[in-house]
Amino acid sequence: MAINPLAQKWIAALLSGKYEQGTKCLHSADNKFCCLGVAAEVVFNAQWSEESNRIPCTAIHAKHVINYKTVGDLLPEELWCQLTEGMVTSVHQINLAVLNDAGWSFERLVKEVILPAFEEPPLSEQVEAAY
C-alpha cells in the first residue's frame, strides 16, 4: 500500500529533528511533542493554546478539539482516518502513544511501527483472505 501525502508529511516531520520528543500528552507546555502531536501540528495545523488547555484542529472543522495536556491523548478518529486514509487501524495509534511514552525515539517509531503499518494489507483484505 502506498503511503499517502499526509502520512509522508508526518513521517518527514518526525525524522526532521525539528520536534523535541515528549511523553504523556500530544504537546506539552515546554514545547515537546508526542509522535501524534507532531501529526496534529504538521498535518492538521493544530493551534496550541495553554490558556484554553485545548487545541482546535482547523484543518477539519470547529467541532474537533484535542486535549492539550491530558494523559492518554490520541487524535480524534476522523483525523486518524484522514491521516491513514482508513488503511491503518486505531490500534496502531494506541500502540504509537504507548511506545512513544515508553521512550521509543521518533526514528524507531517510524522504522518499526509506522512504515510497517502502511505495508500491511488493508483490514478488508485481511478479512477476505481469512474466508
63 pLDDT above the threshold of 80:
no
pLDDT of residue 61 exceeding 50, the answer is no
Per-residue pLDDT tens over the stretch 23-52: 887 887 788 899 998 998 888 877 666 543
Phi, psi of 27 (to 5 degrees): -150, 130
> Residue 113: its pLDDT value, please?
92
- pLDDT for 15 beyond 90: yes
Q: In the predicted model, is pLDDT for residue 127 greater than 80?
A: no
CB atoms within 10 A of CB 78: 13
pTM of the complete model: 0.77
- pLDDT one-digit tens code per residue, 87-99: 777 788 888 988 9
Q: Where are the domains of the chain?
A: 5-130
